[in-house]
């Protein structure tokens, strides 16, 4: 938990809605790879910040590695299906292509 009492790996509903609206491919889109990757990226960023101050939190570190792996698989799927959407998403999120698991 962070000082505000919110669990580290969770996103509040307002943040989720904002991210979904920004990355949605159409109205009401909550499950496209773009939205899923954007949500995972936000959770990864939050966990990374948490681990900077809590270096011995190995349980959260394992959760971070699982999230990174899940994001990598989604990005590989998107790169295979539509390389242009993949490139656009990687650029918008500022993810390194090597970290995305595709060229």
pTM here is: 0.86
Domain boundaries, the chain: 13-100
What are 26-76's pLDDT values in tens digits?
999 999 999 999 999 999 999 999 999 999 999 999 999 999 999 999 999
* Residue 57, number of CB atoms within 10 A of its CB: 15
Residue 79 DSSP one-character state: H
Sorting pLDDT into bands at 50, 70 and 90, what band is 91? very high
Q: Is 54 left (phi over 0), alpha (psi -120 to 50) or beta?
A: beta
CATH superfamily of 13-100: S15/NS1, RNA-binding (1.10.287.10)
């Amino acid at each position: 938990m962070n000082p505000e009492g919110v669990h580290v790996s969770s996103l509040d509903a307002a943040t989720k809605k904002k991210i979904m609206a920004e990355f949605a491919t159409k109205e009401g889109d909550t499950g496209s790879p773009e939205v899923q990757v954007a949500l995972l990226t936000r959770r990864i960023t939050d966990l990374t910040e948490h681990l900077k101050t809590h270096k011995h939190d190995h349980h959260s570190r394992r959760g971070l590695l699982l999230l990174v792996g899940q994001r990598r698989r989604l990005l590989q799927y998107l790169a295979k299906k539509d390389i242009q959407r993949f490139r656009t998403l990687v650029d918008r999120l500022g993810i390194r292509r090597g970290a995305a698991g595709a060229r």
